[in-house]
């Protein structure tokens, strides 16, 4: 039996006692596997390799943004990494003023993974890898849609999830989680125009919200409320529910045959 620890005032305790606590970093190891060593040597001959290490069983390569085509082509043709399973970006604008773009490569024959990382500035573009991997057609469009990163020489670079006239990029850390005026009024501005904001009034975004005093969208059970009536003038007394012996049973009144049988 485990030792009991008192839980008095557990809700008053702070979840984090140190506000500057930083999670421990995953250890970065030197490439000791023969396969990873061969990959590092092959890539370093074709591009300027900034850093290389093994993290959680996979090789991580840091390259310059201008060398992404040459590095991925070397991995595909010389190292057997024929599949690019994922590519996207991470927003580090507030911290470093840069985006981190990653390419997740897979070698099926050797069952190995390589993660290629590069950094670009906010207004800097990256070269498209569609000539090497067809999956980049949609992945690079999503990266452009969510982060606003331009991809040079992409065959059809346009937004893939959000509308073409949408303002902002949802996966940036500066994108508001709530209170976005453009998002809340997008349908109204698109269909009727901004001048109809005053006509329609504030929009209720929560469809599950129920206001028991709202006589236009909600009527109380057991009491008919006139549409648009003043809530203060409506009688709040509830009419008693009539119970039926065949359908509805009032278990508050006893004795009852069903309850007696259960006992």
What pLDDT is attached to residue 244? Answer: 53
What pLDDT is attached to residue 214? Answer: 63
Reply yes or no on whether the pLDDT at 254 is more than 50.
yes
pLDDT tier at 221 (50, 70, 90 boundaries)? very low
What tens digit of pLDDT does each residue of 86-145 get?
999 999 998 899 999 999 999 999 999 999 999 999 999 999 999 999 999 999 999 999
What pLDDT is attached to residue 211? Answer: 65
The owner of tokens 């950094």 is: 119
DSSP string of 52-119, one letter each residue: EEEETTEEEEEE-GGGHHHHHHHHHHTS---EEEEEEEEEEHHHHSEEEEEEEEEETTTTEEEEEEEE
137 with 212, same domain: the answer is no
CATH number assigned to the domain comprising residue 138: 3.30.460.80
Q: How far is CA 41 from CA 35, 89, 109, 132, in A?
A: 10, 26, 19, 21
The count of structural domains within the chain is 2
Residue 38: φ, ψ to 5°:
-65, -35
What pLDDT is attached to residue 183? Answer: 85
Q: Is 8 within the bounds of a domain?
A: no
How far apart CA 240 and CA 223 sit, in angstroms, is 10
The residue among 51 and 179 whose pLDDT is bigger is: 51
Q: Is 165 within the bounds of a domain?
A: no
143 with 208, same domain: the answer is no
Q: What domain range is 212 assigned to? A: 181-229
What pLDDT is attached to residue 23? Answer: 75
138 with 188, same domain: the answer is no
What pLDDT is attached to residue 127? Answer: 97
91 with 146, same domain: the answer is yes
Reply yes or no on whether the pLDDT at 239 is more than 70.
no
What tens digit of pLDDT does each residue of 12-59 get?
665 656 666 677 888 999 999 999 999 999 999 999 999 999 999 999
Q: What is the overall mean pLDDT for the chain?
A: 82
What tens digit of pLDDT does each residue of 185-201 get?
888 888 888 888 888 77
Residue that terminates a domain, selected from 131, 152, 173: 152
């Amino acid at each position: 039996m485990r030792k009991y620890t008192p839980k008095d005032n557990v809700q008053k305790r702070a979840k984090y006692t140190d506000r500057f606590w930083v999670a421990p970093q995953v250890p970065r190891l030197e490439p000791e596997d023969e396969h990873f060593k061969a990959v590092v040597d092959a890539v370093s001959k074709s591009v300027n390799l900034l850093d290389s290490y093994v993290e959680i069983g996979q090789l991580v390569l840091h390259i310059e943004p201008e060398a992404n085509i040459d590095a991925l082509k070397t991995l595909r043709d010389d190292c057997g990494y024929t599949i690019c399973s994922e590519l996207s970006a991470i927003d580090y604008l507030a911290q470093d003023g840069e985006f981190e773009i990653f390419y997740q490569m897979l070698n099926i024959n050797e069952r190995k993974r390589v993660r290629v990382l590069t950094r670009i500035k906010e207004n800097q573009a990256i070269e498209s890898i569609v000539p090497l991997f067809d999956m980049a057609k949609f992945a690079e469009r999503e990266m452009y849609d969510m982060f606003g990163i331009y991809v040079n020489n992409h065959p059809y670079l346009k937004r893939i999830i959000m509308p073409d006239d949408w303002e902002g990029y949802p996966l940036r850390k500066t994108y508001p989680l709530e209170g976005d005026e453009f998002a809340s009024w997008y349908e109204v501005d698109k269909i009727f125009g901004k001048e109809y904001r005053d006509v329609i009034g504030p929009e209720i975004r929560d469809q599950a919200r129920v206001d028991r005093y709202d006589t236009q969208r909600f009527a109380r059970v057991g009491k008919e409320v006139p549409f648009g009536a003043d809530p203060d003038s409506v009688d709040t007394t509830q009419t008693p529910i009539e119970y039926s012996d065949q359908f509805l049973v009032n278990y508050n009144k006893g004795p009852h045959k069903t309850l007696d049988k259960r006992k």
